[in-house]
Structure 1
Amino acid sequence: MKLAYFYSAFTFLLLASCTREKEPSDLEKFTGRWSLYIVEEQVDSAANWEPRQDHYKNRKGFIIYDGQGGMGVHHVTENYDQYVFEGKGGLDSLTAKDLRHMADNFVYFGKYSVDDSLKIIEHHIESANFQTMWGTTASRKYAFSGDTLILSPITERYPKGRLKWIRLKDNE
């Protein structure tokens, strides 16, 4: 009786392990394109997360993880794409207003690494529109909630921020 029970339990575990889909690693979960949904802030530990109301209000943009360690992020202010440049020639014709507008464009590229146990992703910045960022590392706490990726810059100070990204369904 005991031997039959043992074989029955063993067979069940063997079949369950063979048919169960492998849960993707966090590194695999990042792979793909994401669209910026909202930028939020928390003013202190007791406060709720609220949408930012400053120059980060209603930002839009994208982040991409290629699944092989390469990434890029680009986001801009609300209505960035609707701005009409005053300068009509090349870079030499840009006005001070044009240049201020372009300063609201945030972009960097580089490699990334993921620490599943600490839930931290590091963006190793190789190129950025702000040269002071070149060669630096941007560390972010992360969480997945369905098709939403939440990235939070690591800081002990308040206010704290987080960016929520929605997975783009490119292959559907």
Structure 2
Amino acid sequence: MKECIYIVIISIFLHGCNENCDEVNTNDINGLWSLEVMEQKDINTGEWREWRNGMQGYLLYDDNDNMALHLTTEGYEETDLRFPNFTDTISIDALKHLTNSYVYFAKYKVDKENNIVEHSRISHSNPGDWNKVVRRGFELNKDTLIIRPLEDSNSGLRLTWIRY
């Protein structure tokens, strides 16, 4: 009888471990991604074309439902402009340059069934976009992640990311 009880206890323990291991299993999109290309769909031809003569950036999803995005124009860092942070006395050229950097942090949720990731923004480089929730369709193929904004205003964009 003791042996049966031990077998039942061990079985319950092993079953419980398997359940917990499944819960700990992270989303496949977790990790650091580097932007390969950002494209806009031509509404007349349906063809995808590189957006704004090239973009660069990084996308990060972690195991704690946090994400971060940083996009800049291609070659953003290749400038002779130098200016201090947190000051209101920089040149117009520097201000214009800063507008080519787009950053936000968010909590995220993945709907694997519909291939949608939802970003609940907690901060943004544009004050008007703080605390907004945005949804992104995604396709994952090995080390390539394609993200498409689902909001009408940005639905013509496609961002292709490579695992970093």
Q: Does the TM-score normalized on the shorter chain lie above 0.5?
A: yes
**Pair 1:94–1:50, CA change in 2 (3 A):** same
Matched, 1:140 2:136: yes
CA contact (8 A) 1:44 1:159 kept: no
For residues 93-172 of structure 1, the aligned pairs below 5 Å read: 93-156=89-152, 160-168=156-164
CA contact (8 A) 1:120 1:140 kept: yes
Identity %: 28
Secondary structure in structure 1 of the residue aligned to 2:95: helix
Distance 1:158 1:127 in 2: 19
Match of 2:39 in 1: 40
Secondary structure in structure 2 of the residue aligned to 1:151: strand
Gaps of 5+ in 1: 1-21
Gaps of 5+ in 2: 1-21
Task: Say what the alpha-carbon RMSD is for the aligned residues.
Answer: 2.6
CA contact (8 A) 2:134 2:151 kept: no
CA deviation string 1:2-38 (max 9, x = no partner): xxxxxxxxxxxxxxxxxxxx9xx7x611111000110
Secondary structure in structure 1 of the residue aligned to 2:77: helix
CA deviation string 1:34-92 (max 9, x = no partner): 0011011212386232222x2xx321110100121000000111111011226579724
CA contact (8 A) 2:54 2:73 kept: yes
Distance 2:63 2:86 in 1: 37
- Normalising to structure 1: TM-score of the pair? 0.73
CA contact (8 A) 1:86 1:94 kept: no
Counterpart AA for 1:162:
R
**How many residues get paired?**
142
Counterpart AA for 1:70:
N
Counterpart AA for 2:159:
L
- Normalising to structure 2: TM-score of the pair? 0.77
